[in-house]
Amino acid sequence: MSAAAEGGTFPVVLGGAVWKHGLLAAAAWIAAAIVTLAFPDVVPWGSRDLFAGLLVAGAVLLVLASFVIDRLGRFGRRLQHYGPWFIALGVWLALWELVTAKFGWLPKPFFSPPHGLLHVYVVDWERLVICIAYTARLWSIGFTSGVVLGFFCGVALGWSKTFSYWGMPILKLIGPVPASAWIPATFFLFPTTFQASIFLVALASGVPVAILTASGVNSVSRSYYDVARTLGADNRFLVWRVAVPAALPNVFVGLFMGLYYSFAVLVVAEMLGAKYGLGWYLQFQTAYSAYANVYAALIIMALICSGLVKLLFVARDRLLSWQKGVVQW
């Protein structure tokens, strides 16, 4: 199979290449726009014309990219990689419109069509922005404090036998308990609900970091220490220049787990009397059966979480580039 065919392109007479997946995706997006406009809504949702216009605009961009894909360099190669996903997205949006807004098989208010979700962003974007800011503040403080404490505790647990003797049983006892189960204690231990929420997020993110950091430090080959001691290294050098770098793959696994756990408990944490935040927004809208708003907030949380995961991958790849061939990439 030729390289052009593998990338979803085929040659043309004028010397360029046409991205066939881009043309198919554009056709799927146009079909979704036609479905949105041609069929009447069973129940009006709002922003229908805007949604169809965005689909058409996206289809036009896909068509233009299809004829200049070989000139877009790295960005063009990335587009080619996700070409089948663009096609699937157009088909999915068309089917989603049909089964919700057009035929009503998935009725309001329990399900929302795509243009219903868009309407939420159009009419309630100011409150959503405020909620995102509040959530970002709570999560960043809780996650950072939990990761820092978990990392240093993990290093101590993996390095010191005495610290491990006393600390590891406690960590194993606390670890399996969901962070949300500590809510009754947080009301007594912390003077404000904001501090209690920070504690829950920190606990959810810090425990996996501590356990996996300790495991990574404890599993470092003793030959590394012997070589370093032969060259005159002291204990401080052995910890920060030998043990910690060798344990970084485990540390990043703990960071990924802590990130997911922190987002899982974030919704619960923001229900403890918070005035704003995505968790508060979910609870508030659920109380009024505004499930379109709930889905819109969930999409925002998913995008934020996936973006943070991507940043962690980038950081891991750069910090562990020297371990290629050792770490499973």
CATH of the domain at 188: 1.10.3720.10
Based on the domain organization, do 184 and 35 belong to the same domain? no
Whether 16 has a pLDDT exceeding 70, the answer reads: no
Based on the domain organization, do 81 and 138 belong to the same domain? no
Based on the domain organization, do 53 and 193 belong to the same domain? no
Residue 328 lies in a domain: no
Task: Report CA-CA distances (Å) from 119 to 44, 47, 123, 124, 293.
Answer: 11, 5, 6, 8, 9
Based on the domain organization, do 244 and 143 belong to the same domain? yes
The amino acid occupying position 234 is D
pLDDT at 297: 94
Whether 327 has a pLDDT exceeding 50, the answer reads: no
Cβ pair 89, 55 in contact under 8 A: no
For the chain, the domain total comes to: 2
Based on the domain organization, do 76 and 172 belong to the same domain? no
Whether 14 has a pLDDT exceeding 50, the answer reads: no
Residue 205 lies in a domain: yes
The alpha carbon dihedral of 70, 76, 80, 85 has a sign of negative
Which one of 111, 140, 156 terminates a domain?
A: 111
Whether 328 has a pLDDT exceeding 60, the answer reads: no
pLDDT tens digits, residue range 53-85? Answer: 999 999 999 999 999 998 888 899 999 999 999
Residue 13 lies in a domain: yes
Report residue 253's pLDDT band, with 50, 70 and 90 as the boundaries. Answer: very high
Residue 269 lies in a domain: yes
Kindly state the average pLDDT of the residues 179-196: 84
Percent of residues, the chain, with pLDDT higher than 90:
55
Please give the mean pLDDT across all residues of the chain: 87
Range(s) of the domain holding residue 129: 125-321
Question: Cβ–Cβ contacts within 10 Å for residue 56, how many?
Answer: 18
Based on the domain organization, do 65 and 153 belong to the same domain? no
pLDDT tens digits, residue range 130-183? Answer: 999 999 999 999 999 999 999 999 999 999 889 889 998 988 888 888 887 888
Based on the domain organization, do 95 and 144 belong to the same domain? no
State the Cα–Cα distance between residues 82 and 204, nearest whole angstrom. 34
Cβ pair 114, 96 in contact under 8 A: yes
Residue 326 lies in a domain: no
Q: Which residue has the higher pLDDT, 24 or 228?
A: 24
Which one of 111, 135, 161 terminates a domain?
A: 111
Cβ pair 150, 207 in contact under 8 A: yes
SS3 string, 246-274, reads HHHHHHHHHHHHHHHHHHHHHHHHCCCCC
Report residue 325's pLDDT band, with 50, 70 and 90 as the boundaries. Answer: low
Q: How far apart are the first and last CA of the chain?
A: 27
Based on the domain organization, do 102 and 131 belong to the same domain? no
Based on the domain organization, do 100 and 206 belong to the same domain? no
* CA atoms lying within 13 Å on the CB side of residue 165: 3
pTM of the model: 0.83
Residue 116 lies in a domain: no
pLDDT at 3: 45
What interhelical angle do 291-319 and 114-123 show, nearest 10?
90
pLDDT at 15: 43
Based on the domain organization, do 237 and 95 belong to the same domain? no
Task: Report CA-CA distances (Å) from 214 to 59, 155, 244, 326.
Answer: 51, 6, 10, 19
Residue 258 lies in a domain: yes
Residue 277 lies in a domain: yes
- Could you give the residue ranges of the DSSP H alpha helices within the chain? 3-6, 20-38, 48-67, 73-81, 83-97, 114-123, 125-159, 161-174, 183-189, 193-218, 222-230, 235-237, 244-269, 278-287, 291-319
Q: Among candidates 93, 89, 90, 131, which has minimal Cα distance to 112?
A: 93
pLDDT at 318: 87
Burial class (CB in 10 A: 0-12, 13-18, 19+), 134: buried
Q: Among candidates 100, 83, 105, which has minimal Cα distance to 35?
A: 100
Kindly state the average pLDDT of the residues 109-116: 92
List, in order, residues 6 or more apart from 116 with CB less than 8 Å away.
Answer: 45, 46, 47, 100, 101, 292
Based on the domain organization, do 167 and 249 belong to the same domain? yes
pLDDT at 329: 44
Lowest mean per-residue pLDDT among 149-153, 224-228, 292-296? 224-228
pLDDT at 306: 92
Based on the domain organization, do 105 and 129 belong to the same domain? no
DSSP 329: -
Which one of 84, 111, 138 terminates a domain?
A: 111
